[in-house]
Homo-oligomer: A and B are copies of this chain.
C-alpha cells in the first residue's frame, strides 16, 4: 500500500455531486444561458445597500471575517426578537446542514426525509454514514404526518422538513408546522428548512420558540435576500444545540464581504418587500404562461414554480432538454410523480419573455 488510507466510510462513498452547476452546462454547450432560471436563485438580486456594502468591503478583504459573526447575529437577534445565543451563522444552509449532520449522525443512524426532497441534505447524511429513510410526498406536498410516524418507527435522529418545500414550492401553514414540531419524538431533532419562507404568505412560519430543543430552523440570505453566491445562512435553535456548532464549525469560514453584505441586506427590509412583490408577480406570470400552453403550474410559496408538463418524467425531461437547448436553464424534480414537472425561478420580465417564447417550442419538440 502506498497511497493514503481513507476511512472505510469515505472509501465507500460515491463521488456524488448534489447538483450540476449551470456553468458546467454552459461549458458543455459552448454558450452562456440566455435565462438562468434553474438553480432557485433570486434573479432580482440583492439590495443596492448590500451591493454597496460588499463593494466597500472589497479592499479590506485582507482581513479575516469576524469568527463570531457578532454584528450579523446581533442584527438577526433584533430582527427576529430572539437572543443572539440562539443563532448560529454559517457558510450557507448547506454548510450548516453538514455541521449538524456531523454532530448527530453516525453510521447506521436513521434520518427521515421526503423522497425527492433536498439532495444536499441527503449528501451530508450519506456522507456521515447515516441511513436515509424516506416517505413519499402527499400529492405535491411534503407529508408531515408521515415524516413523524416514520421517525417514531425508525427512531430517527433527524427529521428533515422543508417549509415551503423544494422542489414543488408548496407549503403548510403555521398551525401544521407547529403541530409537527410538537409531535417530534424524544431523541429526534426536526430540521425545519425555511430557506424560502420569506416568499410565503404570513401564517407559514410559527413564532420562534428558542427554548424548544426539538427543532432547529434554517434561514438564508441566498433566496429572498438574493445573495446565493455570498454563502450566508443561519440556524435558530436551543442554546445547547447552537453552541455545539462551535465544536465543529469552520470558525474563520465566513467571507468578510458577505458578512457586511448580509448585514445591509437585512437592514433593507423595504427592498425585501419589493423583491417579494416582484417574485409574486413573476409567479403569476409563469402560471399564466403554463395556462396559455394548456398546462397547470403548482401553486408556489417560493421564488420558483413547478409546471406540470402533463405527462411523465420522461416527457418532462424532454421539455427540459428542449428548453436548455434554447438557452433557458431550468431544472426538474428527481422522482415520480413530481418529475412530471419542470421547475423554474421567478425571473425578471426579460427572463420570462424568453421562457414564454421558448416554452411552446420546447413542448412541441418534446411531443414529437
Contacts and interface: CB of A to CB of B under 8 A. Distances in A.
Interface stretch (A11-19, A164-172, A200-208, A312-320): A11-19
A315 to B, nearest CB: 28
Nearest to A48: B59
B256 A229 contact: yes
Q: How many copies does the complex hold?
A: 2
B36 A61 contact: no
A250 B189 contact: no
Contacts of A15: 243-244, 246-247
B61 A227 contact: yes
A103 B10 contact: yes
A6 B67 CA distance: 23
A60 to B, nearest CB: 7
A21 B66 contact: yes
B247 A213 contact: no
Contacts of A194: none
A251 interface: yes
Interface stretch (A39-47, A285-293, A336-344): A39-47
Contacts of A27: 70
A281 interface: no
Contacts of A106: 7-9
B21 A64 contact: yes
A60 B229 contact: yes
A64 B43 CA distance: 11
Interface in A80-107: 91-92, 94-95, 98, 102-106
A255 interface: yes
Interface of A: 1-10, 13-19, 21, 23-24, 27, 36, 39, 41-46, 50-51, 54-55, 57-68, 70, 91-92, 94-95, 98, 102-106, 120, 127, 157, 186-189, 213-214, 222, 226-231, 238, 240-241, 243-244, 246-248, 250-258, 261
9 contacts: A4-B213, A16-B246, A18-B251, A50-B61, A60-B229, A120-B252, A229-B257, A230-B256, A231-B253
The 5 closest A-B CB pairs, nearest first, are A229-B256, A3-B213, A4-B189, A23-B66, A54-B58
